[in-house]
């Protein structure tokens, strides 16, 4: 590695893992009982939840009906979609009480159910409660924390699958309905409009461009459907901003962007073809960097996975990534933007700052495939 000189400073072990906030508003991404977003970001491959399942079922995204009237009223939308909405209770280990709950959307009549990854996070088993109050145990097929999408499978046929619509043609001002297990109250229906499109509410993860909606979304709604005026699911409710003076700012994952992720989760147990470095990182800033003898920008390496090429090239924990392919890395978003240009097995050039000797090294590393 060829070093370049950086300014000197005291070396103090970084110990801070903060909570992300935006303009004083907490971003709630959580099932009932879970409302935090960690700043440590995962660029590591992890074991798939289940073995690959083979070909995923084909789900066609339906265009809007040819007629252009106002569509169904809210009661008709609810009656059409609610049979395809389930409540999800998540359990860990031998616990008899759920660690959290959320909502799911029946994708196929033979038991594939869509939800959010954060709904099933930390769970070892899930219990699915259907519209008719029957219950069955489900299996987590795969979960992708980067896009907050997960797939569950139940051994049951003849289910009422939702109708899915194309979310690419959405317009601000369209009427939408959210249905879900809000606060443990199953079958909760709220109405609003599409307030914005292509919103990025995540930092340091491969977030999809989200739909913003004024329909009320509460903990427990996570993983449920956002539905257009024709009763077509066009989004997966995922998050909201919750703070004093904030009202009616909820978010959903567009279903058209979500479907390729869902397909890969079913077929592989993870999202195939995604390149990662094999590290967990923390974004540095003016607050957590200089007072620990670190830069005020860049991404701090908190851990390196076994098998990552970074370890083979002498990179270690407490180093800081400051460049990638000649581009300055200020935030984790910058690093992700560069990673998304590559495939597993490709080589990426990194600029690595080492606090102990105050130098920057350039090194070529081979990228791994993400399996989480």
Token pair 């009549």 is found at 109
Q: What angle do CA 259, 265, 270 make, to 5 degrees?
A: 130
Overall size of the chain counted in residues: 372
CB 126 within 8 A of CB 140: yes
- Tokens 């060829």 map to which residue? 2
Structure tokens at 332: 């984790």
Q: Is 255 helix (H, G, I), strand (E, B) or coil?
A: helix
- Residues facing 212 on adjacent strands: 196, 251
Whose tokens are 């987590």? That residue is: 140
**Chain-centroid distance, C-alpha 33:** 18
The pair of three-digit structure tokens given for residue 329, joined into one six-digit string? 């890395």
Residues with a catalytic annotation lie at 118, 148, 222
> How many other CB atoms are there within 10 angstroms of residue 260's CB atom?
12
Answer yes or no: are the C-beta atoms of 345 and 366 closer than 8 Å: yes
Is 102:90 a contact under the CB 8 Å cutoff? yes
Instruction: Give yes or no for a contact between 149 and 116, defined as CB atoms under 8 angstroms apart.
Output: yes
Question: Three-class SS of residue 259?
Answer: helix
Q: Using an 8 Å Cβ cutoff, are 292 and 12 in contact?
A: yes
- 135 in the Ramachandran plot: left (φ > 0), alpha (ψ -120 to 50) or beta? beta
| Contact in structure between 336 and 299 (CB atoms under 8 Å) | no
Q: Which two tokens stand for residue 273?
A: 């073809």
């Amino acid at each position: 590695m060829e070093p370049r000189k950086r300014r000197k400073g005291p070396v103090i072990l970084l110990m801070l893992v903060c909570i992300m906030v935006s303009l004083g508003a907490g971003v709630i991404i959580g099932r009932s009982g879970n409302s935090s977003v960690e700043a440590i970001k995962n660029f590591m491959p992890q074991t798939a939840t289940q073995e690959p399942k083979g070909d995923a079922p084909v789900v066609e995204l339906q265009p809007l009906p040819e007629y252009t009237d106002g569509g169904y009223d809210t009661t008709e939308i609810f009656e059409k979609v609610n049979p395809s909405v389930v409540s999800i209770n998540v359990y860990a280990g031998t616990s008899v009480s759920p660690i959290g709950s959320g909502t799911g959307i029946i994708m196929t009549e033979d038991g594939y159910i869509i939800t959010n990854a954060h709904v099933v996070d930390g769970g070892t088993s899930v219990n699915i409660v259907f519209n008719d109050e029957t219950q069955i145990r489900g299996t987590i097929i795969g979960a992708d924390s980067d896009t907050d999408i997960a797939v569950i499978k139940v051994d049951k046929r003849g289910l009422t699958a939702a109708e899915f619509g194309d979310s690419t043609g959405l317009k601000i001002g369209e009427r939408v309905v959210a249905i879900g297990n809000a606060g443990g109250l199953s079958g909760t229906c709220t109405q609003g409009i599409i307030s914005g499109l292509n919103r990025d509410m995540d930092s340091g993860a491969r977030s999809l461009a989200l739909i913003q909606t004024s329909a009320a979304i509460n903990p427990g709604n996570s993983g449920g459907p956002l539905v257009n005026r024709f009763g077509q699911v066009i989004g997966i409710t995922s998050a909201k901003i919750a703070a004093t003076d904030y009202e009616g700012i909820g978010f959903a994952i567009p279903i058209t962007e979500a479907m390729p992720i869902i397909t890969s989760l079913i077929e592989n147990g993870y999202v195939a073809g995604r390149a990662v470095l094999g590290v967990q990182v923390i974004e540095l800033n003016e607050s957590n960097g200089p007072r620990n003898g670190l830069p005020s920008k860049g991404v701090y390496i908190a851990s390196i996975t076994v098998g990552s090429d970074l370890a083979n090239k002498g990179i270690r924990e407490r180093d800081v990534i400051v460049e990638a392919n000649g581009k300055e890395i200020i935030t984790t978003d910058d690093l992700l933007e560069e990673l998304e240009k590559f495939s597993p097995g490709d080589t990426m050039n990194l600029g690595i700052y080492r606090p102990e000797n105050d130098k920057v090294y350039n090194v070529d590393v081979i990228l791994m495939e993400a399996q989480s």
